[in-house]
Structure 1
Amino acid sequence: MKSSAIHQRGTVRTVQLALLSAIIFVLALTPLGFIPLGPINATTIHIPVILGAIWLGPAAGGFLGGVFGLSSLLINTVRPGPSSFVFSPFYAASIGMGGAKNALYSLLICFLPRILIGVAAGWLYRGLSSLCQKSRAWQTFASGLCGVMGSFVNTLLVMGGIWLLFGPVYAQQVKNVPYSALGGIIMGVIGLNGTLEALVAGVITALISAPVAAVLSRQRR
């Protein structure tokens, strides 16, 4: 009976990960992954990663972050844009002199920040929820805080990686500005886009996470 229950929980967890992975791809491939906020579009693709980390733990969050990175790689390879070399090794290899090195850099930017979204959000939620497990209001607050932090992790690491690893090329080919001006542009993206995306992620995560977490908790009993 015990092994059967463990197998059933494993099956349910696999289905949950598959559903969240499918949602990530749907958001990445459609306009549903972006919310217009004035002059910018705030991405929502990272929200299933954060929710999965809260519901299923940091390891699952890291897996879903990898799915997010994979979706980014595929989209930037199949539907390339001016900045696709940042996320696709197939285009990064053709930039400048260091082909293989640039391809490795693009994989690093594409996957590492997205994986760390889930890992960081999952561990933060575990730490915060352990402080007051029985308080629904506290869990809602903790979920929202995880949404904010997970979103900032993505923005800071992606934009910081672009600045450090592809700065001169990104300044010239994407922004058409001198490299000396790129730092200010990236800080502006982090300050404006990053803040708005973090607020959106925090609100949506807080609204969705606690009710679903309560249902999942009852199912595990």
Structure 2
Amino acid sequence: MARIYLPSQGTEDWRRLLADPVKHWREGYSAMCLAQCWESAGGLPSEIARLLISIGPSPELLVALPEHKVPLPGSRLGDSQNDLFALIRAGDQTVAVTIEGKVDEPFDQPLGIWLANASDGKRNRLAFICDLLGLTQPLPDNIRYQLLHRTASAVIEARRFKTDLAAMIVHSFSPTRRWFEDYAAFVALFGATAGPDQLVRVHLEGTPRLYVGWASGKILDGSQTVI
């Protein structure tokens, strides 16, 4: 895991961090939309700030790390490469936040497919995530694996940085809120009800307290991109 980070000079710095800087960098797709939005905001995008006001007043971005990798058990499966990791101050609370950008792309594979002929490494990783999030197996086959490991990443980093809270936020740029039903099914695992543009506290014993949210953003014109 990288320990030294350099300040961003614009969206091209986000691009070079992608697993595939050619395939994953296209107009109207999540990687570019997320980079344009956060660079243009000069701090927290307004839709993210509105979610976090429920935690504390005047949310402030302390640091944001694009394509932040969080190690999980099962090294052959690779790290959880989060679209963005941020430390945010809201009132007297500090929050470790993982951001998952979305437009039309799905949340990767549902568990029913991801677990087909699963290796011991996959099963051990899922067991670790469920234990971390207080979930009981077996989980429904339609639950998207990506939402599980992105949320686990938020808890892991909150404990590492000793923040007060952890949060996983889907930053959606889809005008039709595509894939919201998959997010809602994930939130229901915790006995909670999801809503668009809402931050929901989910049950997690011990610290940190865990939240999940869905923020609706807008795709920016190229003229608004910070280069």
Greater percentage in strand: 2
Which structure has the bigger radius of gyration?
Answer: 1
Greater percentage in helix: 1
Q: Same fold (TM over 0.5)?
A: no
TM-score, normalising length: structure 2 = 0.29
